[in-house]
Structures are given as C-alpha cells and as structure tokens.
Structure 1
Amino acid sequence: MSRSTWKRVGAAAAAAVLLGGLVAAGPAQASSGNNSVKDVTKAVTLAGVLRHLVAFQAIAKLSGDTRASGTPGYKRSADYVSTLMRAAGYKVTRQPFTFNFCTENGSSFAQTAPTPTTYVDQTDYDVLDCSGSGTATGTVVPVDLQLTTPNTSTSGCEAADFVNVTGRIALLQRGGCPFGQKAANAEAAGAIGVVIMNQGDTTAPDRQELFLGTLGSPVGIPAIGISYPQGVAFAGTAGLTLTITTDTVADVRETENVIAESRYGNPDEVVMSGAHLDSVPEGPGINDNGTGSAGILETALQMRNQKTTNKLRFAWWGAEEANLVGSTFYVNSLTEEEHAKIALYLNFDMIGSPNYTFGVYDGDDSAATGAGPGPAGSAQIEAVFQKFFAGRGQATAASDFTGRSDYGPFIGTGIPAGGLFTGAEVEKTADDVTKWGGVAGAAYDPCYHQACDSFTPERDGADKALYAQLRKAYKNKLVGNINTFALDTNADAIATAVATFAKDTSSIPPRPAAIAAARAAAPTQNTHGDWLN
C-alpha cells in the first residue's frame, strides 16, 4: 500500500472517533447489484478493512491504550460497530453480561535454592490470568506429573492429587481439566503458590513451549505458567525453592456482545459469523482481534443490500480474552429452537499476523493431530476456504480445533464451524517460510498479547531488528503489527465464505434431533484443558 493511500485510509477512519466521542464513518458504497460471490469478494477491500483498524487504534488511544472488555475502550469499540451496523440497516442487539476482569501490573519469578536464578517474564514464565496477588516463597512439590510418553496428565484435577503441599509451591502439569480447577484445588490443599508446566504430550511447540493461559476465575495465590522442559528440570531438582511475586487485579465487571442480523433471508437458516472485539488489557489488540472484527464488519457492510437466501448474523464477542465468556454466554442463552436455526458458524480470530500462516480450521481432522473433527458440516466449511486459497495459489495449514477461540461453544453444542487463523505465539518453521515467507524462529505474531499489537509496534516495545527483518522479508507489506497481504487475502476469504453460504447451505447436513442431548453433555473445555487466549 502506498504512503498516500495509507494516509487517506487513516484520515477517513480516524474521523470515526472525535474528542472522545464516537462519530461513525459512513460505510463504503456497495452496489445492490453485487449479488454474486465474486462481486461481494471484490467489494471487500483492504482499504475498507484498514479504516476500521485505524478506528480501533484511535479508540484505544483515547482509552488508556486498551480495548479490553470492562474498559472504556471496549465500550467505544462496541459503539463503533453498533453505529455502523445500524446505519447499514442491520438489526443490532447489545447483549450484556458480567465476567471476571483480571489483569496484571507486574511480577517476578526466581529460584532461590539450590541455584539462585532470576527468570524473565514472557520468556521463561507467564502470570496466568486471574492469578492471585502477593509473594510466595517455598519449597516445590511436584503433583502427579506424567513425564514419560504419552504424558496423559491429569495433574491437579483431583483433590487427592495433593499431598504435603501446605505452605509450599505446587508444581502442576497441563492436561485433563482447566487451569483454574488445578489452581483452585492447590489453594484448597494449602499451597501458597502454583506453577503449571506445559504438558509435553506431543513434540509440537504449543505442547512444549511457554504458554499463555487463564484461570477463568480468580484464585487467592500467585499462579504462573512455564514450558514443559523447564517443568521437567524443576521436577528433577532436589531441594528446589522458588519465589513468585505477582501484582494483579481481579474483579467482576459488565461487558457485552454485539449481535447484528440482516433484514433479508430465511430466519430458519442462519449463517453466523463472529470475531471477538476485545483486546487484552496490555494493548490495543490491532491484530488480536481487531483484524477479525474489522474483516467481518467490512463484509457485513458490503452485504447490507443483499437479498440473501439465508439470514446473516454477525457477532462481535466480549470477554473472549477472559475465557470465551461472551460467546459461551450467547450459546448458553439460546433456546433449542434458536440453536437449531443456526446452520453454521464462521470464526475469525487473528487474520493479519505479521509473520503469518494461512491457517484454516481442520473441520475433517485431515491432519489427524490434536482435537478431532468438528461437528458434521465442518468439513464442508473447510472445503469452501480450501477452494478459495487454492484459487489464489496459496498454501494452507490445518488449524486444530483446540478450543482456544469462540468456535468452542458452537462446536461443543453440535453446530458446524470453520474459519481462519494466521497464528499467535508459536514460532514459524523453515518449512513455513517456504510456503508463506517471513522469518523462521520468530512467532507468527511477535506482539501477541502485548502492548506492541498496535500500529506502532516498535514504539510500543517490539523488537526493532525483528520487525525490520519482517518488513524486508515481506517487501514492506507490514503496516504496524499487520501483514497487509495476509489481511487482504483473508478478508476476501471471509467475504467468499459468507456470500457462498448466504446463498446456499445445502452442503451442510441437517443436525440430528438429539442435539439437545449433545448440548446438555457438552464439555466446557477440550480434553487438553485448553483455556488459552
């Protein structure tokens, strides 16, 4: 994108926010004759998506550099989306709910014996969201660890796992139940702190390396996460003593989902698309998940005059970063009749990562890794995306249904789902570089869950040398923390999928009458206990 074009986009989008109050930028004009999938895809442009991202950045700037749920930045983001969608003729509902607001102000972590060592935040450890605040110093007690293949850990899931932990720090292993359950059990058993290591059940980076997790609900003791190798090292160290210090905030706040429905289409056949609107408290969340939110917003605006066969419903979820609270609240609030009318759900969470991969949710489990396939119909959704990328000559990666984004409550209750994901904290491989370019050994999004997920990443703390490498590798396709090629391509993929299913959902098999039983039996997390954001 040229400098002059970028300036025009920025000026138009920045007009959406003025003196702390919201002034909606008018939707780009789309012809009511844009009825083909090709026409809709062409109407959704990079400039159109970027204007929303600049608005989100301006909103964050007015709001303490965050758009987290429970903050003024989220409220202004919801106002922005709602105003544009109402102006475009959609029926907009703002669905309020309460959630546990958790944030971290600072932390430290050190080994005090037998080898004094200071560990680095975000490199060696991460404070789990909703950790308690305070300092814990004590000897370490490994709790029911499984350190040999297949590492089928349920460490800390049962009260009986904890022996002689009173006044000590519990070393737990990921797997089998939510992180919050493990930490709460440790606290109830008298532990003064919790360290949760990754599971190590596969050699994949996301099961070995440092992970970013949430407890879901506040606990009263410090709780951190570490990598699997570091956990193994701790477990093998006799006389290990650690000190964990956390400065955190946890309280109950109100936020909302924004739901918009089209004027046209069969109300008994709803094609639903969603993206979480909130950022983490640490930053503006321009990639995570300004990109997904902007992508479905621009698609909705360009389809506002479409007399579609099926009803379109777009959702901007609140409190995703607090453990999928908004989407879970929405799904749980549906009656059986309302639930049955949703033909499918499309999820878009991070679609412009600077060191991207073109991830497509693996609806048929063709990769045969991690979680199994999605509900019947998910494979057909995946096929639409695969056809799109094949037409663009772009390779794709099978993105596993790990349960870490808002499709979770939908697939957990039998609704087929699919979508796109350009990667977060996992490092790019040399094989990835042959497919999509970029920098091997760097995260798909080096600013994931940080203040530098913005339009000024280096100024906000990003590695300047790395971002110089990325700009060179991608021939200046980066705008802030966004890869514009990835964003532009994925925005077109969103438009293609939404327009395709708006016309015809006959490829999606009808759900069985026993769906009510499936909903009642649905787990609240996947088998790995993946409450990750």
Structure 2
Amino acid sequence: MFSEINTRKLLPGLACLMLVTGCSNNNDSNNDGANANKTADDFLVDLAHPTKGIGARVAGTESERKAEAYLLAEIKSLGYTPSAQAFTYHESDTEFNSSNVFFEKAGTSPDKILVLGAHYDTTGEDHGSTGATDNGTGVAALLEVAKRVKDKTLPYTLRFVFFGAEEVGLYGSYNYVENLPVEDLGKIVGMVNYDTVAGGDYLYVHSADSVKPYDCNGDKSSYAAGDTVRKGMFDASIALDGDNDFLIHPSGGYQAGETGGWSDHVAFSCRGIPIAYVEATNFDIVGKDGKDGYSQTVNPQFWNCFDEATIGACDKDVEEKWGRIWHTGSDRIDAMESAFPGRVSSQMELAVKATVEFVSFADYYLP
C-alpha cells in the first residue's frame, strides 16, 4: 500500500529486463504438486512471520530478494512456470534492484488476458511491521487462487504478477506495464489488484478514480476509469451464496466505488486497462483526511481515542493512531490475530472464492 504522501520518482524506460526462467503460456510441468496441501494461511506465515518466515520484505534489500526466491520456488511447486523481470530504480541518487515475478494459466481464449497482481515488498519495519496485511495477504491469497484454478478450464488466460518495490513508488508495476509488448497490451481485458485484502473492517472492491485521473507519469491520454472489472468481481461475489462478499463504498473522499492512486492498479489504468482493486479497510471512518479509506478499523485499540458518534477521532489535534494498520507495528500476524481472531483468514478466503468464481466465468462477468 503505497502512500500518496510519498513523492513518486518514476523513471520510465529505464527498466532492465532479465528472464531468469523461460516465459511460458502453458502450465505443463513435471512437478508433483508438493504444495497441494498448503493454504493461504500457510503462505502468509511463510512470507510475513518474523521467525517462521521471511518477515519484513523491504524493497531493494536482501529480504525482498528472499521473497522473490520464495515466490519462484512456490509457484514452480504449484505446477507453473514462473519468470522474473529484474529492474532498477533510484531513490536519493542511489540505485536499487528489484524484480517482478509472473506466470500464466492458459485459457481457451489466448487473445484475452486477465492480470491478477499483488506487491510483495513491505514498509514500516522501523515501526515493527512485517507486512502481514500489507501485503502478505494479497500475495498469499493470489497463490491460493493459482492453486485452485490449476486444473480448471478457464475462458481467459490468467497472468499472475507479483510486483516488487511498490511501497517506494509503484516501480514494479510501472516497469512491468511499460515493458509489455504492444500485442500484449491489446489482449489484456482487465487487471485485478490485491493489496491488503484482509485486516480492515470490511472487504471492498473498487475501480479507478473517474474524477481525478492518476498522474500517469505525465501521460493521461490512455487513462481508463471504467467499472466493468469492478462490477464483474462484485457480481461474482454475489453469485457465490446470494450475498455479496465485497462492498462498494459510498461517496465521500472519492466517488462511490472508486479509489485513489496509491497501489499497482495505477499503471494499468494509465494504459487504458480497466481495473478492480480489492482491499480491506473502512470507508465509514472519518480519518485524518476524511473518508478516504486510510483508516482501516474502528477497534479502539487502534486509536488514542475513538468517538463512536462521529466514527472518528475524539480530538483530531491529538490523535496519532487513526485506526491504521498498514505500515505500523500492528501489521503483524500475531497482532492481527490478537485483535481480530480469525478475520485475516476468513477475509482472504472470501477474496479467493470470489476471484475464482470471476475468472472461471470471466466471459460471463465481463461484457
């Protein structure tokens, strides 16, 4: 979850590409399915537990490289053929290295591609965060989606992409989109972004901001803000049991159902690709900057003083916590389980089920 407070210093065209394994449009593999019994909860522990897993995965560091290696190994173990796209970025005149990890599940319509993405780097380690919700949950849930669709016949080809260096400026997703072949851009019918799909009070699905287009690195000529993918994901969640797992937030800081430019969906919207963005937060809260989704919970332990009447701070001038989980010492598996027993697991499962439904019948859910 990249904060819009940060100054983005993107370097278009300066990506260096390196495929560490061959790209593949099919899923033929001799792997014996060693991860068949792993769940999203297991993947989350592997990624975000400070002793049993990798823990914090700071962009441009050895811990992020460990996460990249983990993803390559797990994806291969699931029976897919993963690839890595290395790139460089600059912060304060210092060059850093990162990578995107991706693979495909072929569909019956190879000329139609759905991208499912999640960033795997973290921030807030100086406050004790290990990036459990932001964004271990997104990565773990997408790995679970990949496991569940492995043997399904799907109408559209799925491309799973795990982005590096999101927290420091959305570098991974911008580099990925900027280096897509023209023929690929023409095939991508939508992008679903998983960023903090568990932890907050409610699970939402958004589309891009239609009122204030993202800055798009200065080029908004192809900007897409349509709600087709959001609507498809929302309808898929309803189809599961007659009750929607996802919410559409009301108008407030943004138009109803729309979201800001703080995550990896931005690069895709800027290239004319409609998006759906799944996140767990609480748009009812009057946060530091209004109802913008940057306060994730009304749980009093996440506030200096929470006022139930106003759904916000008792005193804005002295409030420091603001109901935030992302980038804080609360963004840990143990802290989340203590505050919200079972919530993270159940919300990941809701996101996974709705997404599997959506991609299984994408030709129905997308016009």
Provide the TM-score with structure 2 as the length reference.
Answer: 0.68
Q: Which of structures 1 and 2 has the bigger CA Rg?
A: 1
Cα deviations by residue, 1:426-456 (Å, 9 ceiling, x for unpaired): 9568x99xxx974454768633213442124
- 1:273 — aligned with what? 116
- 2:39 — aligned with what? 48
**Residue type of the partner of 2:123?**
V
> Equivalent residues in 2 for 1:229-240 (5 A)?
none
Shift of the 482–280 alpha-carbon distance from structure 1 to 2, 3 Å rule, reads farther
State the alpha-carbon separation in 1 of the partners of residues 148 and 267 from structure 2. 28
Cα deviations by residue, 1:460-484 (Å, 9 ceiling, x for unpaired): xxxxxxxxxxxxxxxxxx5157663
Shift of the 56–337 alpha-carbon distance from structure 1 to 2, 3 Å rule, reads same
- 1:421 — aligned with what? 279
State the alpha-carbon separation in 2 of the partners of residues 264 and 385 from structure 1. 18
- Maintained 8 Å contact 1:364/1:378: no
Cα deviations by residue, 1:265-304 (Å, 9 ceiling, x for unpaired): 4321112111111111523101100011111111111211
Match status 1:257 vs 2:100:
yes
- 1:99 — aligned with what? 89
State the alpha-carbon separation in 2 of the partners of residues 297 and 444 from structure 1. 31
- 2:326 — aligned with what? 448
**Residue type of the partner of 1:500?**
F
Please give the secondary structure, in 2, of the residue aligned with 1:278.
coil
Please give the secondary structure, in 2, of the residue aligned with 1:505.
helix
- 2:261 — aligned with what? 403
Identity %: 23
The correspondence for 1:80, drawn from 70, 74, 85, is 70
**Residue type of the partner of 2:109?**
N
Cα deviations by residue, 1:182-206 (Å, 9 ceiling, x for unpaired): xxxxxxxxxxxxxxxxxxxxxxxxx
**Residue type of the partner of 2:271?**
T
Relative contact order higher in (CA < 8 Å, ≥ 6 apart): 2
Match status 1:337 vs 2:183:
yes
> Equivalent residues in 2 for 1:202-213 (5 A)?
none
> Which sections of structure 1, spanning at least 5 residues, go unmatched?
1-24, 30-46, 101-216, 219-249, 458-477, 510-533
State the alpha-carbon separation in 1 of the partners of residues 192 and 366 from structure 2. 13
**Residue type of the partner of 1:262?**
K
**Residue type of the partner of 2:247?**
T
Provide the TM-score with structure 1 as the length reference.
Answer: 0.48
The correspondence for 2:355, drawn from 489, 497, 504, is 497
**Residue type of the partner of 1:269?**
K
Shift of the 348–268 alpha-carbon distance from structure 1 to 2, 3 Å rule, reads same
Shift of the 84–395 alpha-carbon distance from structure 1 to 2, 3 Å rule, reads closer
Match status 1:321 vs 2:172:
no
- Maintained 8 Å contact 2:193/2:278: yes
> Equivalent residues in 2 for 1:351-370 (5 A)?
351-353=197-199, 355-362=200-207
How many residue pairs align between the two structures?
293
- Maintained 8 Å contact 2:82/2:103: yes
Cα deviations by residue, 1:232-251 (Å, 9 ceiling, x for unpaired): xxxxxxxxxxxxxxxxxx72
Shift of the 93–426 alpha-carbon distance from structure 1 to 2, 3 Å rule, reads farther
**Residue type of the partner of 1:396?**
L
- Maintained 8 Å contact 2:49/2:333: no
State the alpha-carbon separation in 2 of the partners of residues 444 and 49 from structure 1. 29
- 1:131 — aligned with what? none
User: Displacement, 1:66?
Assistant: 2.0
- 2:232 — aligned with what? 381
State the alpha-carbon separation in 1 of the partners of residues 322 and 191 from structure 2. 25
State the alpha-carbon separation in 1 of the partners of residues 66 and 172 from structure 2. 17
Shift of the 437–279 alpha-carbon distance from structure 1 to 2, 3 Å rule, reads closer
**Residue type of the partner of 1:341?**
K
User: Displacement, 1:357?
Assistant: 2.4
Shift of the 385–504 alpha-carbon distance from structure 1 to 2, 3 Å rule, reads closer
State the alpha-carbon separation in 2 of the partners of residues 288 and 483 from structure 1. 18
The correspondence for 2:147, drawn from 294, 301, 322, is 301
State the alpha-carbon separation in 1 of the partners of residues 186 and 282 from structure 2. 33
- 1:349 — aligned with what? 195
**Residue type of the partner of 1:57?**
A
Shift of the 90–68 alpha-carbon distance from structure 1 to 2, 3 Å rule, reads same
Shift of the 60–292 alpha-carbon distance from structure 1 to 2, 3 Å rule, reads farther
Cα deviations by residue, 1:289-348 (Å, 9 ceiling, x for unpaired): 001111111111121112222211111110000111101101110122111111211111
State the alpha-carbon separation in 2 of the partners of residues 311 and 395 from structure 1. 24
